[in-house]
């Protein structure tokens, strides 16, 4: 019985010594500092070739909708001009008045739908572009041995509209200063535009 007890105590002491040794080694071992880089997100967004292409598509869609809405307005103006020359209460006037009301309703519905569609497309493009930037920043960081990429919000100039607004803008910022040598904005842009990302 005493042999078992001795063996148990020896095992316990050996384990405890091992843990103490490992803990001491971990405390004394040098910790590699994290490599941190920054990106000017606004600059990346504004200079991406793929974003310019998407913006051109949205502008073309908006122009097409404006043209269609203008066509409806022109039709309404023609009907309004014709209504002035018709006899009040005549069957033709009633029919054309109903037609004008119908076109007016369709125009309002089309304008509301158009605004929602454009906003949805813009939001989708922004989200997709952001996701793409995040993925590409991860790839670039891995190739450069970077551990963390932050958005450099210290770059945009503070808008001096009023004291409360200025304070709010300053309070919302997280980076006070960043070393330019750690800014990977240009490399990220070159990688994304060079790869024809989109």
How far is residue 51 from each of residues 57, 58, 92, measured CA to CA in Å? Answer: 10, 11, 52
More confident residue, 123 or 173: 123
Burial 144-169 (b: 16+ CB within 10 A, else e): eebeebeebbebeeeeeeeeeeeeeb
C-alpha 37/C-alpha 61 separation (Å) is 38
| pLDDT beyond 70 at 94 | yes
- pLDDT the model gives residue 198: 44
Whether the Cβ atoms of residue 159 and residue 17 lie closer than 8 Å to each other: no
C-alpha 186/C-alpha 10 separation (Å) is 61
Q: What is the pLDDT of residues 67-81, one digit of tens each?
A: 999 999 999 888 888
- pLDDT the model gives residue 128: 92
- pLDDT the model gives residue 88: 78
Fold of the 32-194 domain:
Protein Binding, DinI Protein; Chain A (3.30.910)
**Domain residue spans of the chain:** 1-31, 32-194
Contacts 24+ apart (CB under 8 A), 169-172: none
Q: What is the DSSP letter of 149?
A: E
183: left (phi over 0), alpha (psi -120 to 50) or beta: beta
- pLDDT the model gives residue 92: 82
- Highest mean pLDDT of the ranges 79-88, 92-101, 137-146: 137-146
C-alpha 75/C-alpha 113 separation (Å) is 20
């Amino acid at each position: 019985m005493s042999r078992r007890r001795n063996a148990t105590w020896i095992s316990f002491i050996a384990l405890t010594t091992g843990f103490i040794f490992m803990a001491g080694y971990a405390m004394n071992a040098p910790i590699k500092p994290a490599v941190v880089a920054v990106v000017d997100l606004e600059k990346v967004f504004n200079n991406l070739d793929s974003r310019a292409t998407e913006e051109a598509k949205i502008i073309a869609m908006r122009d097409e909708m404006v043209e269609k809405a203008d066509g409806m307005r022109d039709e309404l103006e023609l009907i309004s001009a014709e209504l002035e020359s018709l006899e009040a209460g005549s069957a033709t006037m009633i029919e054309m008045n109903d037609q004008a009301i119908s076109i007016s309703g369709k125009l309002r519905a089309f304008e509301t739908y158009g605004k929602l569609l454009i906003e949805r497309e813009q939001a989708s493009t922004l989200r997709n572009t952001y996701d793409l930037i995040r993925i590409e920043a991860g790839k670039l960081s891995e190739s450069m041995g970077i551990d963390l990429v932050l958005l450099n919000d210290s770059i945009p100039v503070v808008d001096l509209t009023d004291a409360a607004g200025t304070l709010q803008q300053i309070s919302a910022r997280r980076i006070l200063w960043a070393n330019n040598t750690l800014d990977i904005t240009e490399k990220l842009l070159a990688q994304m535009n060079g790869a024809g990302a989109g």
